Amino acid sequence: MATDPRVPPSRKALLGIAGAYIVSPIDLIPDAIPLIGAMDDVAVMVIAIDVFLDGLPKDLINEKLADLGMSPAELESDLARVRRVVPKPIRQAMMRIPDAIDGVVEFVSETGLDQRLREWLARFRGPTQEYNA
């Protein structure tokens, strides 16, 4: 679903942020602690997937589930188990992240920061060359 154009970019970014947390050396619970150390990584990814799916149209989710041969009831059962384990304040905080990402994107676009960043990066890349083959 991450490559589907019908999925909002903020939902895709949420998965990217969760993935970055998992590969980051900074953890809430150090990975050096056996078993428990990996739990925060698993929890972050599971919550991110739940929030990702929660913001998508049901027909899109059902279409993708059908492609995988999975029923919506199976997904809901799995998500219900996750929701019972994750404290409500953490889930509520995660639910606000996509809107926050949308707000940052809107701010960057309205202030012209995106264009300035592109221009700044273009100076370091140098001129692009096109080849006629």
E-assigned strand segments in the chain: none
* Residue 129 pLDDT > 70: no
Q: What angle do CA 56, 13, 97 make, to 5 degrees?
A: 75
Confidence at residue 132, expressed as pLDDT on a 0 to 100 scale: 52
Which residues neighbour 42 within 8 Å (Cβ) at sequence distance 6 or greater? none
Distance (Å, rounded) from C-alpha 48 to C-alpha 42? Answer: 10
Q: Among 28-37, 94-103, 110-119, which is the least confidently predicted range?
A: 28-37
Summarised one tens digit per residue, pLDDT across range 12-25 is 888 888 889 888 88
Which tops the pLDDT comparison, 37 or 51? 51
* Residue 77 pLDDT > 80: yes
